[in-house]
Amino acid sequence: MKKLDNRISIGFQALDELASVLRQPAVSQVFVLVDSNTVQHCYPLVKAYLPEHTLVEIPAGEEHKTLASCDSVWCRLTEKAADRFAVVVNLGGGVVTDLGGFCAATYKRGIRFVQVPTTLLAQVDASVGGKTGIDFLGFKNQIGVFQEPAGVFIDPRFLTTLDGRQLKSGYAEVVKHWLIADAEAFAFQRHAGVVVEDWTDIIRASVATKQHIVEADPLESGLRKVLNFGHTVGHALESYLLQQPGREILHGEAVAAGMVCEAWLSAQRGMLSAQELEQIEVFLFSVFEKVQFVTLETAVIAQLALQDKKNSGTTINCTLLDGIGKAVYDQPVPVAEITEALRYYHRL
């Protein structure tokens, strides 16, 4: 097991450690960012561990991961005269941890923030690695900065507040970590499935995998790009459906579809065997329902991949698999091949 950063606390003692950090004399004020879901289901679990604080609430949902929400957060910080010794506690899923981190990193040129992720997706991915950001003009995470949190406090008990769909959404990022870096874990878990009584060990291993990659490339100039497996097609699909009222899907659902598409692209290049592709497809479809779209939409969805942050000019750079457990980044893929991958997924 890779050693975790000492700023990351995972387990049932995590909230005690959060309390210790927030009560340090160097902390002038504490602001707790929640959304309309976490204020109801998660804030009551955390409140007893917090010193005197100001609650800041934003609406729940990816559609609110915008500059308008940032404006409301910055206004609240300003109204309360938050100084550079204030700390923002981001209590929520990926939207809250991404947006809250971005707001803190840009307020007065940067104040400290800590992540208290409450969804599996945020616990294994969004809260770890120092990426912050918001969506812009319909494109995922179009505006943001790299800024490490002062601490990440992961308590598996928050997962009991989730419905099955949200839990599975986070599981997609766990599977991604196996496919890019841990073939042994994938081989074991694809037979075990998603029924888990205690997520602590899975969270710890997944966070350690991501942290190990991020430490080698904190600003995503090279190796860290492997973490984007499934995300080039996945983000395009998610962005497209986010603009279609009533058809919105969760991030993990989009990533699961993206992993099938990008695994197929890997197989087309001879990097992944037919057997490995089948194993990936069978496992993902045993957990995730198929994302619905029509063939006529594939070309429009594929065009959105041109906005991906990993691209160089008009070249779409994908992360593909060179066998299960090994990823290679900066693989150029034409828009036409993204379209074909989506059509392949549609036919399955």
How many other CB atoms sit within 10 Å of the CB of residue 301? 19
For residues 120 and 162, the answer to whether their CB atoms sit within 8 Å is yes
How far apart, in whole angstroms, are the C-alpha atoms of residue 210 and residue 252?
A: 16
How far apart, in whole angstroms, are the C-alpha atoms of residue 295 and residue 262?
A: 18
**Which of 112, 204, 231, 317 is flagged as catalytic?**
231
For residues 113 and 100, the answer to whether their CB atoms sit within 8 Å is yes
**Which of 190, 235, 238, 317 is flagged as catalytic?**
235
DSSP 24: S
Q: Indicate if 235 belongs to the active site.
A: yes
Q: Indicate if 109 belongs to the active site.
A: yes
**Which of 90, 224, 317, 337 is flagged as catalytic?**
224
How far apart, in whole angstroms, are the C-alpha atoms of residue 239 and residue 257?
A: 13
How far apart, in whole angstroms, are the C-alpha atoms of residue 11 and residue 146?
A: 26
How far apart, in whole angstroms, are the C-alpha atoms of residue 252 and residue 244?
A: 18
Report phi then psi at 98, rounded to 5: -65, -50
Q: Which of 62, 182, 194, 57 is nearest to 122 (CA)?
A: 62
Q: Indicate if 251 belongs to the active site.
A: yes
- The per-residue DSSP string of 190-240 comes to HHH-S--S--HHHHHHHHHHHHHHHHH-TT-SSGGGGGGTTHHHHHHHHHH
**Which of 220, 238, 262, 340 is flagged as catalytic?**
220
Structure tokens at 165: 């769909």
**Which of 65, 131, 177, 190 is flagged as catalytic?**
131
Q: Indicate if 346 belongs to the active site.
A: no
**Which of 112, 177, 204, 251 is flagged as catalytic?**
251
DSSP 326: -
Q: Indicate if 212 belongs to the active site.
A: no
**Which of 3, 52, 109, 191 is flagged as catalytic?**
109
CA distances from 292 to 29, 44, 283 (A): 46, 37, 18
How far apart, in whole angstroms, are the C-alpha atoms of residue 271 and residue 262?
A: 11
**Which of 62, 148, 173, 262 is flagged as catalytic?**
173
**Which of 112, 176, 177, 210 is flagged as catalytic?**
210
Q: Indicate if 79 belongs to the active site.
A: no
**Which of 65, 228, 253, 340 is flagged as catalytic?**
228
For residues 92 and 65, the answer to whether their CB atoms sit within 8 Å is no
Structure tokens at 272: 């992944």
Q: Among all residues, which ones are annotated catalytic?
A: 109, 131, 173, 210, 220, 224, 228, 231, 235, 251
